Amino acid sequence: MPDPSPDARRSAPAVARNREPIAAQLLQLLPATGLVLEIASGTGEHAVYFARRMPHLTWQPSDPSPEARASIAAWTAAEGLANVRPPLALDAAATNWPVDKVDAVVCVNMIHISPWEATEGLMRGAGARLPPDGVLFAYGAFLQDGVPTAPSNVAFDADLKRQDPRFGLRHLRDVAACAAKNGLALARVVEMPSNNLSLVFRKVMAVSPGTGAVP
């Protein structure tokens, strides 16, 4: 188990800015009951905030980083939340995820700060595990046809690529096409503060577990 001591807690400044606008979207989209899988939970601050706002749901955080999982466990322990499960060691790009069926999937600020294989894995994993009409919610900065890229996002993209050439803002059409291959349709695009977007995908086709292939 990750270290649940408060000393393990990490903090991301962006969480305080975006958690309420994201929660407002999730409250409209997530089911009345069920299990929500969060991919790339990071510090765990989003997980505990959303779980506290939505006590009718069970939150399953995950992250491939041991340090992140320790932070998630520490935040959960500090908040005393019974509807947050222990964090899973889950790499979105992996073929096999340590979780079976879920009722919704949430992914905040991962797609642009990970290799493209992580986005492919996200869509494959969500498509194989969501029920019909189930929601995959993704939040972050994206490029769009016919929409000028904000200067701050241009600079952000350049900085990400300096950190790792595999990182960078993804084009919305590419993300939507990847989702469609895995039985997920882009149902809604919502403009968010600081030039970010919320993408709402819904499961529209049956997908073979672990393959991403539509039978």
- Catalogue all structural domains in the chain, each as residue range(s) with its CATH number: 6-203 (3.40.50.150)
Give me the percent of the chain exceeding a pLDDT of 70.
92
When the pLDDT of each residue in the chain is averaged and rounded to a whole number, the result is: 92
What are 9-38's pLDDT values in tens digits? 988 888 888 999 999 999 999 999 999 999
> Which contiguous run of DSSP H or E holds residue 192?
strand 184-192
Q: What is the DSSP letter of 196?
A: E
Give 115's pLDDT tier (boundaries 50, 70, 90): very high
- Residue 97's DSSP bridge partners are none
- Give residue 3's pLDDT: 47
pLDDT at 207 over 60: no
CA separation, residue 72 to residues 11, 62, 63, 84 (Å): 10, 9, 9, 10
Residue whose C-alpha is closest to residue 137's, from 14, 40, 52, 11: 40
| In the predicted structure, residue 88 carries a pLDDT above the cut 60 | yes
Among 31-40, 102-111, 124-133, 204-213, the range scoring the smallest mean pLDDT is 204-213
User: What digits encode the pLDDT tens for the residues 136-177?
Assistant: 999 999 999 999 999 999 999 999 999 999 999 999 999 999
- Residue 45 pLDDT more than 60? yes
- Greatest alpha-carbon pair distance for the chain in Å reads 48
pLDDT over 50 (residue 123): yes
**What local confidence, expressed as pLDDT, does residue 127 receive?**
97
Structure tokens at 157: 């993209």
Q: What is the mean pLDDT of residues 71-86?
A: 95
Please report the pLDDT score of residue 80 as a whole number. 94
pLDDT of residue 12: 82
Residue 193 pLDDT > 80, yes or no? yes
Kind and range of the H or E run holding 4: none
